[in-house]
Amino acid sequence: MSIKRKKRVLVGMSGGVDSSVTAALLKKRGYEVIGITMQMLPKETEHQSACCNIGSINDAKRVASKLNIPHYTINIRDTFQKNVISNFVNTYLSGSTPNPCVECNRHIKFDELLKKAEELDADYIATGHYSKITYSPKTKQYRLCKAKDDHKDQSYFLYMMSSNQLSKTLFPLGKYHKSEVRKMAEQFNLLNANKPDSQEICFVTSKSYTTFIDKYLSPSNRKPGLIKNLNGQVLGKHTGIHQFTVGQRKGLGIDSNFPLYVLKINAQNHDVVVGDKEDLPVLKFSISKFSLIDQNEDVLHKSFDLKIRYQMTPIKATITAICSDKATVSLVDKTPLIAPGQSAVFYEKDRIIGGGIIEKPPL
């Protein structure tokens, strides 16, 4: 009589409390757990980062030792530099606003983990993300849904996952509140039970992202420009468009008797256009890198809830055209301050449909 092998799961362990509890829960549930920590940051900055640093790697190793599970560290610095850090810098220099967490999930946390899972003959990968995965017998597709904890829900950053990827992924924390996860960490006697959550972009070790980008700029890339109103009147000067994002109000460096917001950023002539936030309301815009979790789902001309920023109340929108990985989005109500480079994510109640990157200044 053959002995049935335990299901093997590869857990991405950052050294934080969420991924540590994920590993502990899965082991408790009977999985064969292997911890994986990815070295992503450049060597010269990994000591300075608020997360993903040497200390975090050591924390992950110590948690793995406590749980009596194997732990491996893999070097993916080159992949992270190309797909996350360089993308972050270049997006700002093009006049858009990047979302590095989305690109990290797209290229690093799931692509690289799934590759490693194949190498180690693992059945699943798992992370400490706050989201739920369900299965629809009707469509025979896996679905991504919001977490129980609204304040910690991370489904917005995971919209690019496919049903196939979800079929090989576990998100054990999706049905818990953060307070419950902290309590479980204490019950498991994990050394990082009270470790603070990281609030920073992991690779930005300076006080601001503009200072970080400045280090990447050659003299030829340092292009000053003008700050204008919608009538073309010059209100001030700036030293680089990477210092601005659509919707920004503070730090414009100009005096005004009423609030001014960044309305547009022109990468061609380096102008930054400011005005009242209601001056450029949007009814339609385009997105690129468009993907659906269920690639067979018919989404054209249907009404969805839409988020164009992580922390926002959804607005109503319709996908009116799809061409390859591009789509056109129409809004029910005019909406100001839509930032190119950010993610547009579609929801049907608690289920994530898919999304894409706001491609250019709204049409």
Residues annotated as part of the active site? 104, 202
Are the C-beta atoms of 310 and 348 separated by less than 8 Å? no
Tokens representing 170?
């576990």
Interatomic CA distance for residues 88 and 202, integer angstroms = 12
CA angle at 288 for the pair 286 and 291, rounded to the nearest 5° = 115
* Angle (deg, nearest 10), helices 17-28 and 178-187: 60
User: CA 262, CA 228: separation in Å to the nearest integer?
Assistant: 10
DSSP 8-state class, residue 280: S
Q: Rounded to whole angstroms, what are the CA distances from 139 to 224, 245, 295, 296, 303?
A: 53, 40, 11, 9, 20
Task: Identify whether the C-beta of residue 229 lies closer than 8 Å to the C-beta of residue 273.
Answer: yes
Spell out the residues 6+ positions from residue 331 whose beta carbon is closer than 8 angstroms to its own: 282, 283, 284, 306, 315, 316, 317
Angle between helices 54-67 and 17-28 (to 10 degrees): 20
Radius of gyration of the chain (CA): 22
The candidate with the shortest Cα–Cα distance to 167, out of 200, 139, 195, is 139
